[in-house]
Amino acid sequence: MYGTKQAAAAWQKHLAQILVSEGGRRNLKDECVFIFNECGGVCVIGTHVDDLFVLSDRKGEKIRDKVLKKLQEGMEIDNRGEISYALDMCIEADRERGILKISQQQYIKNLIHKFQLSEAKGKETPGAVNDELTTEHIPKTQKEQQEVGKLPIRELIGGLWWVALVSRPDIICALHKCAKWQNKPSQKLWSHLIHILKYLKHSIEYKIEFQRRSAGTSTFQADCDASFASEPKSKSRYGYALRFIGCLVAWSSSVMERVALSSTEAECGALVAVISVREFVRELGTEVFRCEDEVLSLTQDNKSAISLTKKVGNHKRRKHFQVEFDALRQAVKGREINITYVRTEDMTADIFTKILPLKYLRNIN
């Protein structure tokens, strides 16, 4: 079945049957994660097709060995020990200092070589400020369309997405802006994508760092922001960054599906987006790491949006808001979320809503 469309699903079903038969519990929020609890020990196995990533405490090592032995009875296994490189990620762990770093330098180098930018000069920002893609950039003549059609635009977008999702949240806004135009390719779109790749070349040494939890660190922290009517058809862009026990684990830059009528409504949309992803991380994190379900500490730079989450009744500014905003207000009322105000210049999520000038980008980094 290798190479067929159903191969991945069939393999995952077969693997799941083995892991469950050995006492594993499939996580409801992420079905690629299996959790084992025996005799006070914990073993967590994350799966990615035929790659298995095992995490266990000292008592859970016996569970790990038992499961791997069972798998070896029916298939060939290559146990590579402590992980250092997988899925185009370089993983550096310092157990004594409690630090883990993830980077993709080699993967980025491969992209640079593939798209013939080895001799090109790097860029200091992910994109040019106030240089948005528009319908004016779409090729008009047949000759222009044929020339643009030869450009590997989708291939480059796909290659950059893996970087943006794994280790480089600083490019996700610029990349998402480009990806929205892939069905209407242009020479301008290509130049924007090349700009992103040149930025990665300039900042290739950047790594995402995770640190062992220190005293006083909240279990859940998040920042969210929105850019009102900054996208085509007057739609607004929002973005967020979510940290779990002090480590950045989720980030996004996206466009609201409907047109917001005010900056306050756009900011409220960003707040709602954070609540959704927080529920996923909360249920996954509390089961896997057995952390206490604490209040989400959320920062926002719009005082009107914060005020609307706390007011009772149907305020005229929110009469047209959709039902998900009521869920947000309920969470605030139930003290599941604590929203605090920060100045715009101190809002780290600003990087997910627009292309920032160099001086602001340095401040956030």
Together in a domain, 229 and 315: yes
Mean pLDDT of 58-80: 92
Cα 3 to Cα 172: distance, rounded to the nearest angstrom: 31
pTM of the entire structure?
0.90
| pLDDT exceeds cutoff 60 at 213 | yes
Cα 292 to Cα 33: distance, rounded to the nearest angstrom: 20
96 within domain boundaries = no
What tokens does 2 get? 């290798």
pLDDT in tens, 88-115: 999 999 989 999 999 999 999 999 999 9
**The domain boundary residue, chosen from 162, 182, 202:** 202
Together in a domain, 194 and 144: yes
187 SS3 class: helix
241 SS3 class: strand
The whole-number pLDDT of residue 322 equals: 62
* Res. 40 pLDDT band, cuts 50 70 90: confident
Terminal alpha carbon distance of the chain: 46
Burial call 191-213: b when 16+ CB within 10 Å, e when fewer: ebbbbbbbbbbbbbebebebeeb
What tokens does 285 get? 């994190």
Look up the CATH number of the domain holding residue 74: 3.30.310
What tokens does 6 get? 């159903």
What is the total count of domains within the chain?
A: 3
pLDDT in tens, 181-211: 999 999 999 999 999 999 999 999 999 999 9
Together in a domain, 25 and 163: no
The whole-number pLDDT of residue 73 equals: 92
The whole-number pLDDT of residue 2 equals: 66
93 within domain boundaries = no
Counting Cα atoms < 13 Å in the Cβ hemisphere of 318 gives: 24
Together in a domain, 223 and 331: yes
What tokens does 340 get? 């605090």
For residue 136, give the DSSP letter: G
pLDDT in tens, 140-179: 999 999 999 999 999 999 999 999 999 999 999 999 999 9
The whole-number pLDDT of residue 297 equals: 92
* Res. 6 pLDDT band, cuts 50 70 90: confident
Nearest CA to 278 out of 241, 303, 310 is that of 241
98 within domain boundaries = no
Query: CA dihedral defined by 207, 208, 209, 213, rounded to 10 degrees?
Result: 180
68 within domain boundaries = yes
Cα 186 to Cα 64: distance, rounded to the nearest angstrom: 51
34 within domain boundaries = yes
The whole-number pLDDT of residue 205 equals: 95
Query: CA dihedral defined by 181, 185, 186, 189, rounded to 10 degrees?
Result: 40
Look up the CATH number of the domain holding residue 316: 3.30.420.10
Amino acid symbol at 264? T
Together in a domain, 121 and 144: yes
Q: What share of the chain is helix, strand, coil (3-state, %, to 5)?
A: 45, 20, 35
What percent of the chain clears pLDDT 90, i.e. is strictly above it?
Answer: 65
Mean pLDDT of 324-349: 88
* Res. 313 pLDDT band, cuts 50 70 90: low
Mean pLDDT of 309-335: 71
Strands 296-300 and 337-341 come out as: parallel
239 within domain boundaries = yes
* Res. 81 pLDDT band, cuts 50 70 90: confident
Together in a domain, 198 and 288: no
Cα 362 to Cα 124: distance, rounded to the nearest angstrom: 10
Together in a domain, 249 and 189: no
Q: Is 243 exposed, middle or buried (0-12, 13-18, 19+ CB in 10 A)?
A: buried
Distance set, CA 245 to CA 163, 292, 297, 350 (Å): 23, 11, 11, 22
The whole-number pLDDT of residue 225 equals: 96
| pLDDT exceeds cutoff 60 at 266 | yes
Together in a domain, 229 and 340: yes
Residue 355 is part of which domain span?
214-364
| Phi and psi torsions of 364, nearest 5° | -70, -45
Together in a domain, 343 and 307: yes
Cα 291 to Cα 120: distance, rounded to the nearest angstrom: 47
* Res. 49 pLDDT band, cuts 50 70 90: confident
| 299 beta partners | 223, 340
**The domain boundary residue, chosen from 176, 202, 228:** 202
Together in a domain, 146 and 229: no
| pLDDT exceeds cutoff 70 at 337 | yes
Together in a domain, 196 and 337: no
Give the DSSP letter string of 277-308: HHHHHHHHHHHHS----PPEEEEES-HHHHHH
Decide if 170 contacts 365 (C-beta within 8 A).
Answer: yes
Mean pLDDT of 9-38: 92
The whole-number pLDDT of residue 22 equals: 94
277 within domain boundaries = yes
The whole-number pLDDT of residue 316 equals: 54
**The domain boundary residue, chosen from 158, 180, 202:** 202
The whole-number pLDDT of residue 232 equals: 92
Decide if 88 contacts 162 (C-beta within 8 A).
Answer: yes
350 within domain boundaries = yes
The whole-number pLDDT of residue 312 equals: 57
Task: Please tell me the total number of residues recorded for the chain in this structure.
Answer: 365
Together in a domain, 291 and 345: yes
pLDDT in tens, 294-303: 788 999 999 9
Amino acid symbol at 48? H
Task: Give the lowest-confidence range in 117-121, 169-173, 250-254, 331-335.
Answer: 331-335
